[in-house]
Every structure is written in C-alpha cells, then in structure tokens.
Structure 1
Amino acid sequence: MATNIRVGAVQAEPVWLDLEGSVNKTISLIESAAADGVQVLGFPEVWIPGYPWSMWTSSVIENTHIIHEYMANSMPRDSDEMKRIQAAVKRAGMFVVLGYSERDGGSLYMGQSFISPDGEIAHHRRKIKPTHVERTIWGEGQAESLKCVVPSPFGKIGGLNCWEHLQPLLRYYEYSQGVQIHVASWPAEFEMPDPKKIAWLYHETGEASYRASQFMAMEGQCFVLIASQILTEKNLEKNNLVGNPVTKTPGGGFSMIFGPDGKPLCEPLGDGDEGILKANVNLRDIDYPKTFIDPVGHCKETPKSRNCLVGFIRRVFERNSNARPDLLSLLVNPTRDTHVTTMAK
C-alpha cells in the first residue's frame, strides 16, 4: 500500500434538483481531480441533487413542490446514473466518497457510497440519524451504516455525514476501525446571521462545522477532508430561499484538509468559490500524533499473546494510550432491523 497520497476535497455548487446535470458535474469534477493526480476525493453531503436548505427556512407546505422534484431527482444506488459515475471513477483510478440523496423505492436516505479505483461500490452507508427537520425528508440508516471505514490502495478511507461528526460514540467506533483518511461530507453552512433578524445557534454555522471536523482530525489522528456545498444568488429562487436572513450568497463553503494533528494542509477557498482543495499527505505522519494520544490505542490481550513479543508491545503501548476499556467501552449492535422478516417453517 502506498503511503504518499494526493487527496482532494470538493467545494462546489450542486446542479440543484437535476439528476442528469448533477451526474455530469460529478464526472467533470472527478476528471479534473484525476488530471491533477488526486487519488482520494471527497464530495459533500447529498451533493446529488443538492441540500434543500429551504426545509429550515420555510414550512412544509411552502416546500411541497421542491420535495416532489427532489424525490424525482434523487439517485438510486443501483442506477444507470450511478454506473456512469462508477465508470468515471474507474477511468480515473481513484477512490471516491460520494454523498447523495439515495432513492430506495418510496424512501430517501442521506447516502454515502465508497467507490474503489476499480469502479466498484466497496461499501455503502446511510446517515444513521438525520438532523432535526431532515427527518421529514430522509430515513435513518441501519446497522450496516455503522461501518464507515474501508481498506483501499490509498489507506483506510472513512466517511461521515454532517452532524454525525457530533456523535461521539460514532466517531469512536470509526477510530476503532483504523481510519487514516476521513471524508467529512457537509452541506452548505453559512456565517452567523444578524441576531436582530433571527435567533440562530452558533453550531449551525460553517465556522462551527469547520471546527468540529478539525477536532475529529485531532481526536482520531487521521487526515480529514472537509467537502462542502456553496450557494449562489442565481439559485436562491429555485431553492425557495429568497429573502431569508440565513443563506447569504454567495456562500456556504468551508472546505479544508487537515493533518492528523489538526493542522490545515492547504489554502482555503472563499466561502462562495468553487474548486477542489488538494494536498499531498504521508500516511506515516499519523504515527507521531498517535504516540501522544490515541482514544482506541490498543487491542485486548488474548492468552496466546500475553507471553509473546506482540503482547509485550501491546502492554508498553497501553501506557501511551488514552483508552480504558476496563472502565469505558462501546457496545455495538451489528444486526440490521428489517421491515419484513420471513418466519422459518
């Protein structure tokens, strides 16, 4: 496995409510990144067909027409549109974490597909708990979505959506899976609005989301690629966002690439600018911060390892680890609940 990797994070405006246009733009970004040598590329949350911000600023009734179009332009995982994207990834020879609104029958999910350099979906997950009003549009992920790290020729690649980064047990479980490069997929998030116009919470801003992603890099000692959407004035009306005090345009972007100690590794784009942020990283750079802090830094000893060299190394490393499974541990249920269960005769 290579240790010197070129990574990229997308900051761009979706082709709103347009599946075909979204796929075309996705392929164009993949091709552009590949031309610049990118090997791991992250896309924003529900990049296809864009994050419908008006669900936060208008009533359900006022957004009915948008949601109807949104369903029609969400993408099934096994679709011709997805196959086009997979083919583009294969041509590029890169690893892509793609965020999209996934249509499955009459339901939508906030999906992330991990597409390998051979164009196969190596893993697929769904946001396990959509945030607040998001639950009126998207369903919840099940047990298979707890897995959020997959091996690749470019290291162990992880990914979470938006406020999944504020779920400490989910982050902890990702660290336990050995993540090295993490894709933090976000929608557009804007600066703090005028308090005279609306009461708003700081945690619902681009600055706060940036900090949450940076903290994950420090806490998990992994490279973090923030991929975020932007919004421009010409698309306010299409998104039913004209006149609200929150979605300032052009804006919404806060993409960045962090090292495993939390250090920014590239120059940011303006919050209303499109582009692909890029950085050359060395996976061996993870080792140094791991020696300072590692929340899941050792494996439980087995009787066979207790008297061997491996057991000795583990016991030495435990002294530098912040993990205390004798006091605190995480219980994970790997069983997927289904709507229909066939009884055995």
Structure 2
Amino acid sequence: MRVAAAQARSPWLDAAAGAAKVMDFLQRAAADNVDLVAFPETFLSGYPFWVEQTDGARFDDPDQKRAYAAYLDAAVELDGPELRMIVEAVRDLKVFTYLGITERVRGTVYCTLAAISPADAIVSAHRKLMPTHEERLVWGIGDGHGLRTHQVGGLAVGGLICWENWMPLARHALYAQGEDLHVSVWPGSSRLTGDITRFIALEGRVYSLAAGALFSYADIPTDFPFHDQLAERASRYDGGSAIAGPDGQWIAPPVSGEERLVTADIDPAAVRAERHNFDPTGHYARADVLRLHIDRRRLDTAEFID
C-alpha cells in the first residue's frame, strides 16, 4: 500500500482555487499509484494565521470582526460545491483522502478533518476536539463523532488534527479501533511534526503519517483587514510532512520548504510484528484497571421533533 502527504501551498481564503489545488494533487497521487493521501490542517480554505500576530483577543475590535467575517465567508460546507467536486475526483481516481477543511456551520467555523472514500464519499468529518490557544477565538469546539477508523487497503486508518495528537485519550480512542495507520494534519512546520510523528508510531505500533502545508504571509489577499500588517512578516510554516514506521524509525523524515507529495510504501505485516511486545489497547492493556468511555454522538444546540 502506498501512502502520501500532500505538502503544498493552498490559496488562502480562496475556496475555489484551493479545491483546484486539491484536485491537482489528487491527480498527482493517482499517477504515482498512491492509495491514500492526506492534506494538511484547514488546507481548504486556510489556517487563521492573523490572530496570533494582530492582538486577536481585543474585544469588539472592528478589524478583528471583519477578519472573522471574511474567514467565515471563505469556509466550506460538507455538502457544498467544493467538497462535491473533490468527492467526485476521489471516486474517479480511487485515492482515499484525508482533507483538512474550515467547515462552516451557520455562523461558526470548525477545524475539520474529512475522510473521503472512493466508494462511500465522506465517511467521517472529525471536528477538532479542542482548538489550541488563540485558535479558540476563531473555531468552535468539536465532538467525538469523527473519532473513527476506516478500512483502506487492508489497514485501519484514523486521523487527528494538530495538537489534539498530543491528547492521550484521543489517540487511545483510535488505537482501540485497531488503528494501523495514524494520520496527523498540521498547519505546516517541521518543529511541530519532528517529535510527535515518531512518538505516535512507537506508542501505537502504527505507521504515522504527518501532513503539513507551506505558507507565506505574502499569500494573504490585499483586501484582508490585516494585510499590510502581516505581508512583510517571515513565516515559520515550512511544511514538515513526514512518515514513520511502527518501529518509530523514519521512512520519510520531515520535509522542509518543498511543495510535493511525500510518499512511502507500507506493509501491514510490519505493524503486526511490532505488536509482538507491545499493543497499547490489546495484550499490554489493563481493562480491569483503566478504561475509556467515548461519546461519538454529533452534538448540536437544538433537536427538532416534528
């Protein structure tokens, strides 16, 4: 089975152009016989880079409100035209896809990881359980509905978003479903992926694939409220996509600064071999002492009964 991280620059706050970029990388993946490809966190339509740099917590600031409105307008819906086009491409190209999106639900944006199957379209939409630090000023808090694994090429595959990969119980929820390949998606930085990618591989005895994006503040549209304040800043977002084996060794070390597919051929037998001496939710677990309760209901603020 061949897997890949799509390390690329996405047109920021331009959903149509971002979807076209996804389509381009899906075609590249199919041409390279890739079975599964992962795109970075909020690849469509962009990470909220401005908040940290512009005093984003200032209450009732008109520029911050206009920035959020622009971000909300650029977000996509699960049944919107961009996702419909991508679902069709996944079906035609037969490449299972994890895609980080900014998901719009009424007046709220969620940081969501959509799993798209060639046979069954969107099979899960995992909303980030807890946005990190300044992200809480922009994204809603997710739920456990997307804590699911999917069968791809004989492997159970699951995914988490950015720093929730550091949440032990979130990882455990996927390991407990027999996860063989763990996908982590990031805004894009080798300083973020260098440690956790190998740690997850060792802890779960899984293949661990990290997908990160490239970004320059020069990519911010000129009509965005903080364009002039941000355009000249140096970006730390250099990609960092990487793949580690279930023994914790690099198959593809973090890649910096290059726009390309980061690929690897993986073997389910290697996962089974590494579980000889450690299986965190199997023979090395103590269900009589430690157990995890997982609520996978999709949470909403209203229930209508007619």
Q: 1:256-335 counterparts in 2 under 5 A? A: 256-266=242-252, 268-269=254-255, 271-297=256-282, 321-335=283-297
| 1:268 to partner: Cα distance | 4.2
| 1:142 to partner: Cα distance | 2.1
Report the 3-state secondary structure (helix = DSSP H, G, I; strand = E; otherwise coil) of the residue aligned with 1:255: strand
| Residue 23 (structure 1) aligned to one of 6, 19, 22 | 19
Moved more, 209-218 or 84-93: 209-218
Residue 154 to residue 74, structure 1, CA distance change in 2 (3 Å): farther
**What is the TM-score normalised by the length of structure 2?**
0.90
Q: Confirm or deny: 8 A CA contact 1:149 1:177 kept in the other structure.
A: yes
Q: Distance in 2 between matches of 1:16 and 1:215?
A: 31
Q: Distance in 1 between matches of 2:82 and 2:124?
A: 18
Q: Confirm or deny: 8 A CA contact 1:231 1:272 kept in the other structure.
A: no
Map of 1:255 onto structure 2: 241
Q: Confirm or deny: 8 A CA contact 1:44 1:227 kept in the other structure.
A: yes
Q: Distance in 2 between matches of 1:63 and 1:257?
A: 37
Unaligned runs of 5+ in 1: 190-205, 298-320
Kindly tell me the number of residue pairs found equivalent between the two proteins.
298
Q: Confirm or deny: 8 A CA contact 1:214 1:224 kept in the other structure.
A: yes
Q: Confirm or deny: 8 A CA contact 1:217 1:261 kept in the other structure.
A: yes
Q: Confirm or deny: 8 A CA contact 2:197 2:243 kept in the other structure.
A: no
Map of 1:38 onto structure 2: 34
| 1:243 to partner: Cα distance | 7.0
RMSD of aligned Cα (Å): 2.3
The answer as to 2:219 corresponding to 1:235 is yes
Q: Distance in 2 between matches of 1:21 and 1:132?
A: 29
Q: Distance in 2 between matches of 1:36 and 1:44?
A: 19
Residue 30 to residue 336, structure 1, CA distance change in 2 (3 Å): closer
Unaligned runs of 5+ in 2: none
Q: 1:212-223 counterparts in 2 under 5 A? A: 212-223=196-207
Q: Confirm or deny: 8 A CA contact 1:54 1:241 kept in the other structure.
A: no
Map of 2:119 onto structure 1: 118
Q: 1:156-175 counterparts in 2 under 5 A? A: 156-175=156-175
Q: Which has the greater radius of gyration?
A: 1
Residue 242 to residue 159, structure 1, CA distance change in 2 (3 Å): farther
Q: Distance in 1 between matches of 2:267 and 2:193?
A: 25
**What is the TM-score normalised by the length of structure 1?**
0.80
Map of 1:177 onto structure 2: 177
Q: Confirm or deny: 8 A CA contact 1:221 1:290 kept in the other structure.
A: yes
Residue 11 to residue 237, structure 1, CA distance change in 2 (3 Å): same
Q: Confirm or deny: 8 A CA contact 2:27 2:93 kept in the other structure.
A: yes
| 1:288-308 deviations in Å (ceiling 9; x for gaps) | 1111211101xxxxxxxxxxx
| 1:70-103 deviations in Å (ceiling 9; x for gaps) | 1111110001111100111111111001110001
Q: Confirm or deny: 8 A CA contact 1:232 1:272 kept in the other structure.
A: no
As a proportion of its length, which structure holds more strand?
Answer: 2
Percent identity (aligned): 30
Map of 1:318 onto structure 2: none
